[in-house]
Amino acid sequence: MNKDEIDLETLDGIKLLIIGCPREMFSLKEFEALKKFISSGRSVFILMNEGGESKLGTNINYLLE
């Protein structure tokens, strides 16, 4: 479990990132790191609860769009 900001250094050596029901907003810097992570051929698996982004108070749809 990571509670620190997500950056390329944090993601180094990871092939699959699992994000389970995020409950906080992601920063633009975190989204940029995640986009680079995905474009480098690695994978992200995102799990959400009923009610999605608005109920959980996150902005993960920005990445999913």
Has residue 1 got a pLDDT over 90? Answer: no
Please identify which residue in the block is written with the tokens 């051929």: 41
**Distance separating alpha carbons of residues 52 and 14, to the nearest angstrom:** 26
Predicted pLDDT of residue 31: 97
Instruction: Summarize pLDDT for 3-37 with one digit per residue, the tens.
Output: 789 999 999 999 999 999 998 999 999 999 999 99
Predicted pLDDT of residue 46: 95
User: What are the beta bridge partners of residue 19?
Assistant: 46
* Mean pLDDT, rounded, for 56-64: 92
Predicted pLDDT of residue 2: 73
Task: Give the residue extent of every domain in the chain.
Answer: 8-64
Predicted pLDDT of residue 3: 79
